[in-house]
C-alpha cells in the first residue's frame, strides 16, 4: 500500500500545485519548501542561500576549488570525503536524509528534490511525473514571472538544472519511465490530476 507520493515536475507544469492538492485531499503533510526550511535548520546554513541552491548540483570547478582547500584535488579520490564536500553537496545530503526520514514516517507528499530517485526502491512510494505542453507552461509562467522576456529559455534552464541534479547525485535520468508509476499532463487540470493520484493511492 502506498503511503508516500513523490511529485517530479517540469518547471511551469503546475506540479507543485497538484502536489499540494493531493496532500489536501488525502489529509497528508505536503513537503515542498518545508524541506529546505528543515535542511537549513538542521544543517545550520543560511535559508536564503539554501533556497537558491535548492535542486542545483555543485559545478565541477566548485569541487576542484574546494579540493585545494583540503590538500588538493587528490582529496576527492575515493568514496569517503565528507570533509571535502562542497556546500551544495552537503545541502543535497541533508535533503536526501530529510526525504528518507519523511518517507519512514509516511503519509506525505514530497514535491521535487529528486525524491523519486531517493525513494525509487521503496514499494510504499507512488512516484509521479507532471508535465505540460510548452504553450501551457509559458502561459502559467507569465503570471509568475511577468518581467521575464524569454520564458522558453528560463523553462529549459530550470528543467536542465533539475535533470543535472538527479543525474549528478543519483545517477538517474529524470525522464526515465521506469522511475514513475504515473505520468500526468497537467492540462487535465490541477483538481483532476490530484484526484487521479489520490484515487491511485486508494484513499479517495
What pLDDT score does 35 carry? 72
What is the CA 183 to chain-centroid distance, rounded?
16
Span 93-130, pLDDT tens digits: 888 988 999 999 999 999 999 999 999 999 999 999 99
What residues pair up with 194 in beta bridges, in sequence order? none
**Of 77 and 135, the one with more pLDDT:** 135
Task: Quote the CA–CA distance of 193 and 134 in Å, as a whole number.
Answer: 18
Span 148-194, pLDDT tens digits: 889 999 999 999 999 999 999 999 999 999 999 999 999 999 999 99
Residue whose cell numbers read 487535465? 188
Q: Give 53's Cβ-side CA count (13 Å radius).
A: 23
- For residue 35, the tally of other CB atoms under 10 A from its CB is 21
What pLDDT score does 90 carry? 76
- Could you tell me the domains of the chain? 4-201 (3.40.50.300)
Q: How far apart are the first and last CA of the chain?
A: 14
The pTM of the whole model exceeds 0.85: no
Amino acid at each position: 500500500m502506498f503511503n508516500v507520493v513523490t511529485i517530479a515536475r517540469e518547471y511551469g507544469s503546475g506540479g507543485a500545485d497538484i502536489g499540494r492538492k493531493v496532500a489536501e485531499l488525502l489529509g497528508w503533510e505536503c513537503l515542498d519548501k518545508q524541506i529546505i526550511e528543515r535542511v537549513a535548520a538542521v544543517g545550520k546554513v543560511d535559508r536564503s542561500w539554501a533556497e537558491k541552491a535548492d535542486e542545483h548540483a555543485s559545478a565541477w570547478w566548485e569541487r576542484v576549488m574546494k579540493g585545494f582547500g583540503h590538500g588538493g584535488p587528490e582529496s576527492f579520490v575515493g568514496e569517503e570525503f565528507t570533509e571535502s564536500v562542497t556546500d551544495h553537496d552537503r545541502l543535497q545530503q541533508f535533503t536526501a536524509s530529510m526525504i528518507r526520514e519523511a518517507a519512514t514516517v509516511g503519509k506525505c507528499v514530497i514535491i521535487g528534490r529528486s525524491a523519486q530517485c531517493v525513494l525509487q526502491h521503496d514499494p510504499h512510494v507512488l512516484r509521479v511525473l507532471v508535465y505540460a505542453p510548452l504553450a501551457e507552461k509559458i502561459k502559467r509562467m507569465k503570471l509568475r514571472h511577468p518581467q521575464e522576456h524569454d520564458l522558453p529559455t528560463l523553462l529549459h534552464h530550470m528543467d536542465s538544472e533539475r535533470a543535472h541534479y538527479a543525474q549528478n547525485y543519483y545517477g538517474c535520468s529524470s525522464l526515465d519511465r521506469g522511475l514513475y508509476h504515473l505520468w500526468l499532463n497537467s492540462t487535465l487540470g490541477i483538481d483532476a490530476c490530484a484526484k487521479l493520484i489520490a484515487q491511485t493511492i486508494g484513499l479517495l
